[in-house]
Structure formats: C-alpha cells, structure tokens
Chain A
Amino acid sequence: MIVFDHVTITYAGAPTPTLTDVDLHIPEGEMALVMGRTGSGKSTLLRAVNGLVPHFSGGTLRGRVVVDGRDTATHRPRDLADVVGFVGQDPLAGFVTDNVEDELAYGMESLGISPATMRKRVEETLDLLGLADLRGRPLTHLSGGQQQRVAIGAVLTTHPRVLVLDEPTSALDPLGAEDVLATLQRLVHDLGITVLLAEHRLERVVQYVDRIIHVPGNGSPVESGLPADILARTPIAPPVVQLGRVAGWSPLPLTVRDARRRSVTLREQLADVQPPAHRASTLGDDVAVVRDLVAGYPRRPVLRGITATVKAGEIVALMGRNGSGKSTLLRTVVGLHKPTSGRVVADDVGLVPQVPADLLYAATVADECAMADRDAGVDGGTTRKLLDRLAPGIPDDQHPRDLSEGQKLSVALAIVLASEPRLLLLDEPTRGLDYVAKHQLVEMLHQLADAGHGVVFATHDVELVAEVASRVVVLADGEIVADGAAPDVVVSSPAFAPQVAKVMAPQPWLTVHDVATALGQA
C-alpha cells in the first residue's frame, strides 16, 4: 500500500539528509508504528507519505514514494486527499470549520462529493467514532480526546485507504488515549485501513501494532520489522519489554497480558522481597500550604476546596483526567490565577509552563541565560551553570527555538531555577519528550529534590510517575480523591497503574529498575 523506494530527503540548507536511503513496504491493512528519538525524522517520514514533504516543506526527495499506485512526485497532497488521511500533532491547529459536523464534511466538499453521499457518510462516521452526541458542538468546546477523534473522523469521510497520524495520544490522559487507539484498531479491523502512526509513548501503542519502523536518526539506516524483533534490539522499549529482557523471557512479551502469563515464576521468586517504598528520603519544612482552595470561574469553580501541603524534598505527581483542575491548581499556587476563596501560602515558587518554549525569547542560548541572570538578580553565569548541570553541552550560540524538546525543557528549567525557588512546579513536562529526554528529566528531578526543593508536576505519564514520584495526588472534578505514597495510589488503579505494576500485581512493584535490583540481590 505504501512503498518507499530508496528515499533520501534533504531539507533546503541542511548539510546532511534527514532520512537516508529508506526502503520500506507497508502492506494493506497493517497498523505500523514509527518510533525514534525527537528530531530523528519521524515526522518527515510521515509527511512524505502524503507528499507534504517535499511539496509543502521544500527540500529535495530522491527516490520514489508510492501510495496506492500514486507517486508523490506527480501527485500533490491535495491529489492524494482521497487516498491518504493525514492527522497532525495538534488537532486543533488543523481544524478549518468551527463545528463537528461541518468539519467532518469539509474534506468531502473539497473533493466535490455529492450532497446525498456526504450526508450518509457524515452520519456513518459520527456513529463509527462515537461522536453522534457532539455533532453540533463547537470544536473548541471539546476535550482533547474528542478533538482527536473528530480530526480522525474528518479525514475518514473521504474514505482514504491510508491513515497517517503524528503522535495522536501525546496530549491525552490514559483513558482518552485508549479511546483513540481502540478507534484506530477498529478501523484497521473493520475497514481494512492501513494505519501509520508515530508515538513516543510506546507502552500505549506497541500492543496494537503489526509492524515497527525504527528511525534511529543520526544517519543510521531505518529498520522495519515485527515488533518483537525490532524491540529486542532497540535501546528504547516499553516497560513490559524491558521487564522481559531483565527476566530473560524469549520471545519478548509485548502486552501486559503476555507478560503476566509469563511472570508466574518471577512473582514467586520475588514473593518474599520487599519492594522499595518510593518515598522521599529526607523531608524538610513546608514549602507550600494550600487550605480550602476554591478557584475557577464565577459560577463554575474548577477547584472545589483543595487542602494539601508540600514539604521540601518531596516529588509530588498530580494526576487526573483532562480538565480535572491540575493546571488551574498549579497556576493558582504560582499566583497566575486568583483564588475565589481559601488560602495559598507558597513564597518561592517557579512554574515551568506546559509549553516551555513560551519562556524563551532571546536569539541565542547565551543571551537567554544572561537575561535570566538579570531578571533573577543573581551573579552572571548562574543560569548557564545550572543549565550545564541539567543538560551539559548545549552550545551558547544556538537559537532556543532550534533546540530539541528535551533541551528546550532544560533551558526553561534552568531559567526558572535561577531565582532559586523552594517549590518547583511543572505542567506536563513530558509532552513531546522521547525516552532519553525523559530519563534526563527523572535525573534532574531527583537532583532537585535531594537539594531540598519541593517538586510538584502534573502529568498523564504513568511510567514517569512510577519512576520519580514520592507521592501521588489524584484530582477529579476539582477535588482530591487520592493522596498518598506512589505505590499505594497507583498500583490498585486501572487507569494510573504502570505496566510493571499490572504485570506484578498484587505485589506493589513499580519500575523495571526495582525488579532488576531485587533480582540482583536475590
């Protein structure tokens, strides 16, 4: 269905090709995952499928990309609209109309499909994606998961044979993500659509895919193969696979179910070992006290009476579905949002916003650091030193916008830390981060907690919580519904349990690292 024939793509002005000699064949009806580090060329590969690269982006493409018999050299993206449905990273950025029904019809209107057919297909698509109740709603009023489903529906109405999605679940909570992935799987099974998607959160998608295309970046060849074969070799892998490697299972398990069936002996082996507690080693004084906090809009409170305390040395994970009030809580604590009633006592607070790039204005990293020194009123070079400790080796003369997502986060973090806040807040820090950058983030957060900072981060990433949190607070509908040590809160929860906990239940193991250490001891 999709054929890449010795494709090399070089963007204008780039010294080296982004993708080199890619030779791929994806048969009809497959669901294929493109994985790789940020900046390795995943998006370029996806965008080449419908001709956005090079028709829209510029650059040169050597070789041939053929989709359903149409060569992208002679077909522009619009000529492939009835064959390839393309859903970009941010669904809201791609919406052309303002309500669900019109958005679903837009592509068909462009193709000149007859009104009767359009009417029928819109109804079918509304049912297929479970959007019937939302048909007249404005797109901006929908939740992230609903928007993503509308974006998928909007390209499905033209009956494409191929669906291409760029990180469809990165902004979604675990259940919203499952919803979208289940929808995709249904399309593959029922309609025989070929799906190609890129995703950083392998643990969410690996179980659904038939093929993995690994784009290692840095000029190494692109590999394509069965998930088990590819994951056996790659440095990045979801926790179940890592657990399989640690326990020496072969073939490697890809789903929690597989792993659980294999893990009987492992669980027996570890039955008498006490899992690590995931608690803060040293607790200091209170860095933030929130009492009976109500905040939000006049007649629609988002937070309904929150009471909590954060101590120095703690790393608190704030979880809950989209719209449960996580961001509002962080913004209120830092003072961007005025509480309606209640009390917030938090003096030195720094917040890294959801889009860290918002904090960056200067033309070079060096300017940025100097500006942060001046803003914070500290000695020159402080920010640069912090940055070197967090992420060494970022050149001074680089433009902040050209950094990778992980590097941007490091710079933003260094800027916030320059004024030495005792409490550090992070709003969804892992959006767009690959495994390596996430690993760096975990290290950084541990460092900060050990240095006596209190850390609170809002996230949907259950694996990150398992790695780093010493305490988990779950928000629902503006109230705290759970607050306790990480193992106590996440292990029993169907939505928030990390993969290792699901495999090892009822024993409260959270990370592969814990299991590996325990096996080393045993």
Chain B
Amino acid sequence: MRPHHLITYPRTLHPGAWWLWAIGLAAAASRTTNPVPLLLIMAVTWFVVSARRGDTPWASSYALFFRLAMLVIVIHLVFQTLLSGNTQGTTVMFTLPEIPLPDSTGIQLGGPVTLEGLLTALYVALQLAAIFCCIGAANALGSARQLLRYVPAALYEIGVACIIALTFAPQLATDARRVRDAARLRGGSRGRIRRFGRLAMPMLEGALERSVALAAAMDSRGYGRTTVSDPRQRRLTSALVVTGMVGVCLGIYGILNGTASSWMGLPALAVGCLLGVAGLVVGGKRTGRTRYRPDPWALPELLVVASGLTAAVLTFWQVRVDPTTLVLASVSDVPPVPMLACAGILVGLLPAFVAPPLPLPPPSRRERDLEVAA
C-alpha cells in the first residue's frame, strides 16, 4: 500500500477534500434552524480545526470567521429588537419606545419585543453563523489559495485573477498603514473625509503600480505562453463551461430550496455537471501547463469527503422523515433533538482522526546539532 493511503502518514491533505467536507456540513446547516444541530456543527468545525490546523499564515482564519459569525448574530438580534413590530408571538419581554413612521413604509421602529421574535432571529442568525464557521474551517485547513492550484486548465485565467486579488488585499492593507503613518507625520487637515481624500491617491497609485509590476513579472516568467489561441475552441469551451455553471447553480438552488419544481433539483445539477466537465476536458487540452508536486488524492481524502457528505445526506434524510425536528413549529419550546441529523453531523467529526497529521517543520540547525550530540 502506498503511504498516501495511510491515515497515520504525516502529510497535508488535499485542500479540495477539506472544502468538500465543509460544504457538506454547510449544506446540512442550510436545512435546519434548530439550534441543537447548528451548535453541534459549529462545535464539530472547531474541534476538527484545532486538531488538524497547521502553522500556515491562513490557519488563523478560523478565529476571524468565528468572530464574523458572532457579529452576524449580534447584528441580527439588534435589528430584530429595533424593527420587531409585534408580528410574532405573545410573550412580551420588554417594550421599547415606539417611533411612529407612516404606515406606507411598512416598518415599525421600536415597540414591544417578544421572546418568540428574538428566538427566531437568534436561530436564523445561528444558521448563518454555522455556515460561516464551515467556510472558516475550510479556509483554515486548506486555504483558498492552495485550492486555486487545482483550478482546471480551462479556468486557468480565472484562477490567476483570483490569485492576484488574494495577493492584492493584504498588500493594500500594508500600503494603507504606511500611507496613514506618513499622513500622521505630516499632521494637518483633521477632517476625516478630507484626510481620506488625500490618502486615497497615494494608495491607489501604489496599488496600480504593484499590479502592473506583478503582471510584468508573470509575463516575463512565461505566463500564458503555452495557450493555444484557437478562437473556435475557446468559444466552445466558454459556452460549455458557462452553460454547465448555470445548470449547476439551478440544480443546487433546486435541491437546497426544496419548494422549487422537481426538474430543477438533481436533473439540472447532473446536466450542469456533465456540460461543465465536457467544457473542462475540451479546454484542458489547450494549455500545456504542468503541475508541481500536486497533493495526492488517496484514502484519507475520500474518508474526509465521505464524512462531510454523510452529514449532509443524513440531514436531508431527516427532512424526509420528520421535518418538524429541523424547522421548529414553535420556537419557544425546548428544541427537539433530530437523531439522524445529529448522528450525521457527528460523523463529520471523523476528519479530526482520519485526516493525516501534519508533518512537523524540519528541525532547525541547532536542534539537529543537539540531536547529534545526544
């Protein structure tokens, strides 16, 4: 057996596997507003991230997404409190002073705040927060940047655009700090707006210069050289890929929505996938790029993806069997525990054990010397 298939052999897992796993969990989250499975999903992502996170710069992005998730919940609750009206429930918790607005706006500011209204808002926000945690986990475990290495050849240009954008954002932040410092050195105009106007110029100029420099560097290192520019083939590829994408989008919408007409679900997804793959195959022929040390796709990858899919499938099954446990009929009751969905989500915990451990960084020279001395 090749070492890649061992779950104990230290290596980095294929980023695609992490993303598929996270998508599975996110899909499960999308079908429920019951806080029990949602909190379970968040706990699972947190556990897996802390078990399999590396020391890469992007590994800390989970914390960032988690904070974003908390912010989503807070914003949701604040708006629910302010704009609640008295549409939901009867258990009034407190009453805010009401600001009368004309009826035609349909908005009510202030007024009584009900427990039911707040709980509904909390659960909906929790759903969004859980999805954020899934994305954060995917990003921390297999960065979007790493994933872009595996963009199919036909979509290569899009991949490059994404890479430049990903480089651009942190650079812009550094530039902004530098220019702001310089502005403080000059002192003067205290007004924020005027100050912003003054700072925007050097920052944008810097950003533009940097992009041009990067484009020049890529060109002189052979980017786009092997692309065969046969316009007919290119058009065929684009048409296939775009139609495929539309199909995939419709299909996913159909599956996730559940209320759409039946042709929109699986059939559209299948046709979309087929067209997309055909486009990628046709387009894949045209570039002669090669790939340096691609991550293998072996047993651990399959197990990780399977665990994410299990979470999604079991949750979807729960929708069939007993939908009321996932979308609560009465929010003020103690939420029930959907057994199937929870079991599925717990399967999503497996990557913490079946994903191979990360290799330790090579020992520094001093440590090596110590080892030799010992």
B202 touches A360 (CB 8 A): yes
Chain B contacts for A388, CB-based, 8 A: none
B226 touches A111 (CB 8 A): yes
A93 touches B217 (CB 8 A): yes
Please, how many angstroms separate the alpha-carbon atoms of A200 and B287 in the complex? 41
B178 at the interface (CB under 8 A from A): yes
Chain B contacts for A358, CB-based, 8 A: 178-179, 181-182, 202
B213 at the interface (CB under 8 A from A): yes
Q: Which of B90-98, B184-192, B302-310 contacts A (4 or more CB under 8 A)?
A: B184-192
Chain B contacts for A86, CB-based, 8 A: 217, 220-221
Q: Which of A11-19, A317-325, A349-357, A489-497 contacts B (4 or more CB under 8 A)?
A: A349-357
A78 touches B219 (CB 8 A): yes
A25 at the interface (CB under 8 A from B): no
* B contact patch SS: helix
Please, how many angstroms separate the alpha-carbon atoms of A96 and B220 in the complex? 12
B221 touches A96 (CB 8 A): yes
B216 touches A56 (CB 8 A): yes
Knowing A102-B292, A118-B290, A353-B182 touch, does A376 contact B222 (C-beta < 8 A)? no
**Interface residue tally of chain A, by bracket?**
35 or more
B57 at the interface (CB under 8 A from A): yes
Query: A108 contacts which of B57, B163, B184, B290 (Cβ < 8 Å)?
Result: B290
Of all chain B residues, the one with the shortest Cβ separation from A56 is B216
B225 touches A133 (CB 8 A): no
Chain A contacts for B217, CB-based, 8 A: 86, 88, 93-96
B186 touches A50 (CB 8 A): no
Q: Which of A195-212 contact B (CB under 8 A)?
A: none
| Per-position 1/0 for B185-215, Cβ under 8 A of A | 1111100000000110110010000100111
Chain B contacts for A80, CB-based, 8 A: 220
The CB with the most chain A CB atoms within 10 A, among B205, B215, B223, B292, is that of: B292
B293 touches A415 (CB 8 A): no
Chain B contacts for A154, CB-based, 8 A: 221
Knowing A56-B216, A78-B225 touch, does A375 contact B187 (C-beta < 8 A)? yes
Chain A contacts for B100, CB-based, 8 A: none
Query: B222 contacts which of A82, A133, A138 (Cβ < 8 Å)?
Result: A82
Please, how many angstroms separate the alpha-carbon atoms of A357 and B361 in the complex? 40
Please, how many angstroms separate the alpha-carbon atoms of A101 and B198 in the complex? 40
B232 at the interface (CB under 8 A from A): no
B162 at the interface (CB under 8 A from A): no
| Per-position 1/0 for A409-437, Cβ under 8 A of B | 00000011001000000000000000000
Q: Which of B39-56 contact A (CB under 8 A)?
A: 56
Knowing A52-B219, A98-B145 touch, does A359 contact B182 (C-beta < 8 A)? yes
A418 CB to nearest chain B CB (Å): 9
Of all chain A residues, the one with the shortest Cβ separation from B210 is A93
The CB with the most chain A CB atoms within 10 A, among B145, B189, B225, is that of: B225
A110 touches B221 (CB 8 A): yes
Of all chain B residues, the one with the shortest Cβ separation from A140 is B57
A93 touches B222 (CB 8 A): no
Of all chain B residues, the one with the shortest Cβ separation from A51 is B220
Query: A111 contacts which of B145, B181, B215, B222 (Cβ < 8 Å)?
Result: B222
Chain A contacts for B292, CB-based, 8 A: 101-102, 105, 108-109, 115, 118-119, 122
Chain B contacts for A113, CB-based, 8 A: 290
The CB with the most chain A CB atoms within 10 A, among B185, B218, B290, B361, is that of: B185
| Per-position 1/0 for A67-102, Cβ under 8 A of B | 000000000111111101010101001111110011
**Interface residue tally of chain B, by bracket?**
35 or more
A356 CB to nearest chain B CB (Å): 9
| Per-position 1/0 for B229-271, Cβ under 8 A of A | 0000000000000000000000000000000000000000000
Knowing A93-B210, A133-B362, A401-B205 touch, does A372 contact B186 (C-beta < 8 A)? yes
Please, how many angstroms separate the alpha-carbon atoms of A86 and B163 in the complex? 21
Please, how many angstroms separate the alpha-carbon atoms of A50 and B219 in the complex? 10
A56 touches B219 (CB 8 A): yes
Query: A94 contacts which of B149, B188, B213, B289 (Cβ < 8 Å)?
Result: B213
A336 touches B184 (CB 8 A): yes
Query: B181 contacts which of A133, A336, A375 (Cβ < 8 Å)?
Result: A336
Chain B contacts for A97, CB-based, 8 A: 163
Please, how many angstroms separate the alpha-carbon atoms of A175 and B224 in the complex? 37
Knowing A374-B188, A375-B189 touch, does A357 contact B202 (C-beta < 8 A)? yes
A128 CB to nearest chain B CB (Å): 17
Chain A contacts for B149, CB-based, 8 A: 102
Q: Which of A145-170 contact B (CB under 8 A)?
A: 154-155, 158
Of all chain B residues, the one with the shortest Cβ separation from A82 is B222
Chain A contacts for B213, CB-based, 8 A: 88, 90, 93-94
Chain B contacts for A406, CB-based, 8 A: none
A115 touches B291 (CB 8 A): yes
A161 CB to nearest chain B CB (Å): 15
A109 touches B290 (CB 8 A): yes
| Per-position 1/0 for B288-322, Cβ under 8 A of A | 11111100000000000000000000000000000
Of all chain A residues, the one with the shortest Cβ separation from B174 is A140
Please, how many angstroms separate the alpha-carbon atoms of A95 and B187 in the complex? 34
B79 CB to nearest chain A CB (Å): 36
A83 CB to nearest chain B CB (Å): 10
A166 CB to nearest chain B CB (Å): 11
A78 touches B224 (CB 8 A): yes
Q: Which of A12-53 contact B (CB under 8 A)?
A: 50, 52
Binding site for B on A (CB under 8 A): 50, 52, 55-56, 76-82, 84, 86, 88, 90, 93-98, 101-102, 105-115, 118-119, 122, 133, 136, 138, 140, 154-155, 158, 331, 334, 336, 350-351, 353, 355, 357-361, 371-372, 374-376, 401, 415-416, 419
Q: List 22 A-B contacts (CB under 8 A).
A: A50-B220, A78-B219, A78-B225, A90-B213, A94-B217, A96-B163, A96-B214, A98-B145, A102-B149, A109-B289, A109-B290, A110-B223, A110-B226, A110-B289, A111-B222, A112-B289, A114-B290, A115-B293, A355-B178, A371-B188, A375-B188, A375-B189
> Given known contacts A81-B225, A108-B290, A361-B202, what 15 new A-B pairs fall within 8 Å (CB)?
A52-B220, A55-B219, A81-B221, A84-B220, A93-B213, A96-B167, A101-B293, A105-B293, A110-B223, A110-B225, A115-B291, A155-B221, A353-B181, A355-B178, A372-B186
